[in-house]
Structure 1
Amino acid sequence: MPKVTDTWQWQLSGSLNTSIDAKVYDIDLFDAPLTTINALKASGRAVVCYFSAGTSENWRSDFTRFTSQDMGAQNGWPGERWLDTRSANVREIMKSRLDLAASRGCDGVEPDNVDGYSNNPGFPLTSATQIDYNRFLAAEAHKRGLKVALKNTVDLLTQLEPDFDFAVNEQCNEFNECGGYSVFTNKGKPVFNAEYASKWVNDSTARATLCAANRAKNIRTLVLPLNLDGAFRFSCD
């Protein structure tokens, strides 16, 4: 788990729809009911558990473990701030989250917001500090028997591919960044892609063109709502 040909479903909010015919389900680490995780696994699905590794989210149960020094600038989503990923405390919190993923029976994890260095996080993060942090996450996940996804971080794909088992990407088609993912697919590692642009939601001809291009690249593409609430789903597979 997973294979380059595996289909996927990604839903992080709303009532989880477990009836989708997909091999890999990517769901929220904290919010997904344990009964749902168990049912998905019993039906032969692989479960990937999402958490933010690069931002604090003020509604999470472990939010109070972050210190004021750990948290920097707002990242554009309500209640979220970039984290200083060099912080030993931040890394201990992430180890605890990986412990939680293993204890809940997740097969893999999707650590999000692992490209803070390329934003304006409020800390002097660099590509070197980001590579160090992302490799830390991958190594700690593997210690716990978890597969691990590289989320976005398109400028560091070549450097980080050896450390990660698969990739989750948002909008590489919209931003013409999908070509770099050949470093994953050429190694038989899956690339799970989500697109949100209205042209692919509303225009079936445009969507068919998108899907044909991504199937040729061996990329598994979904067209989804931005808030990932399961309101609709168009699959290229």
Structure 2
Amino acid sequence: MGAEAGPLDAVRSDPAISVADDGAGIVLAPADGGSDVGLVFIPGAKVDPWAYAAKLSRLVADDGVTVVITRPWLNLAFFDPRPLDTFTSLAPDVEAWAVGGHSLGGVRACQLAPDADALVLFASYCANDLTGSGLPVLSLAGSDDGLSTPQKIADAKGELPAGAEFVEIAGASHASFGDYGPQAGDGTPTISDADMTAALTDAIAPFLAALP
């Protein structure tokens, strides 16, 4: 599922964002430098990594977060055994790292989470037990997601620490978390791309700002 051209062009032309494309991942960094907090983001299965750049771009431009969007082997995170530091090493000056991912990318992020300072789930849930990890966790769901439904996310919350935060974004579908077009089996979104980007930024920015 390819990245839509319009949102991606907006990121590439934004003077507040520095874009670097490495073999392991895409690095979006504040153009003025000085980022202390980073997010390693793992794409959903068979989704072009660039398809997430626009939805994550305001974290970079407005809140000074460095975002590394990984390039999973075969476009499937489950086939990518590389450790977290493969991606954090692309921005060595960042001091605190969250790991996150969309859909199946989030399942892989859960596996890497013990090596991170926090976990952010984008329409996803864990298949491994993190209850004793002590990690800060933010779980984001879409009210109209037909794949990682809010109920599925709620049913899996027992794998997360007791203090995990849950945010449901009204009108968001599964594909609303990226810019790659509609997805089979998904619900119909009623939220605009601009409002979705703002909702993600408003939820994630304060969560990351609170990291040590």
Is this a same-fold pair by TM over 0.5? no
The normalised TM-score by structure 2 is 0.44
Query: Quick check: which has more Rg, 1 or 2?
Result: 1
The normalised TM-score by structure 1 is 0.40
